[in-house]
Structure 1
Amino acid sequence: MGIVKIDGALHEEARRASTIMCRSINAQAEFWMKIGMLAEANPTLSFNQIVKMQREAAQAGGPGAMAA
């Protein structure tokens, strides 16, 4: 665990999104980072496909799966 400095405007966006998605600001930032990493690693997949893949992995108890 560590501290990551981000732009104030991005922090505000994370705060707003976290309220809408009922997540903490940290959980929202972590969600965005993981989705971004997966999108870079799988450039042909859409956001919805990535979330579906992660949801299925979480239901199967797969390693590194995140709840969406």
Structure 2
Amino acid sequence: MGIVKISDELHDEVREASTVMSRSINAQAEFWIKVGRLAEENPTMTFIEIIAAERQRVKAREYQGK
């Protein structure tokens, strides 16, 4: 685990989004980081397509017992 320094403004945005999404501040930041990474790796995919692909990946992993 490491420390990531972000601006106070971005921290406030993460805090607000975490409240709306019923996530911890850390979980919200991790979600945004993960989706951002996936968006950069898959520039032709929409947000909805990225989420759907991740859901399929998780289901496949659960099916395989991992």
TM-score between both structures, scaled by the size of structure 1? 0.86
CA distance in 2, matches of 1:17, 1:61: 28
1:56 deviates by: 1.1
RMSD over aligned Cα atoms: 1.1
Q: Kindly report structure 1 stretches of 4+ aligned residues shifted beyond 2 Å.
A: none
Gap regions ≥5 residues in structure 2: none
Counterpart code for 1:31: F
TM-score between both structures, scaled by the size of structure 2? 0.88
Task: Confirm whether residue 36 of structure 1 aligns to residue 48 of structure 2.
Answer: no
CA distance in 1, matches of 2:16, 2:56: 27
Task: Confirm whether residue 3 of structure 1 aligns to residue 33 of structure 2.
Answer: no
Which residue of structure 1 lines up, in the alignment, with residue 17 of structure 2?
A: 17
Gap regions ≥5 residues in structure 1: 63-68
Percent same amino acid at aligned positions?
A: 58
Q: Size of the alignment, in residue pairs?
A: 62
1:60 deviates by: 1.5
Task: Confirm whether residue 50 of structure 1 aligns to residue 50 of structure 2.
Answer: yes
1:58 deviates by: 1.0
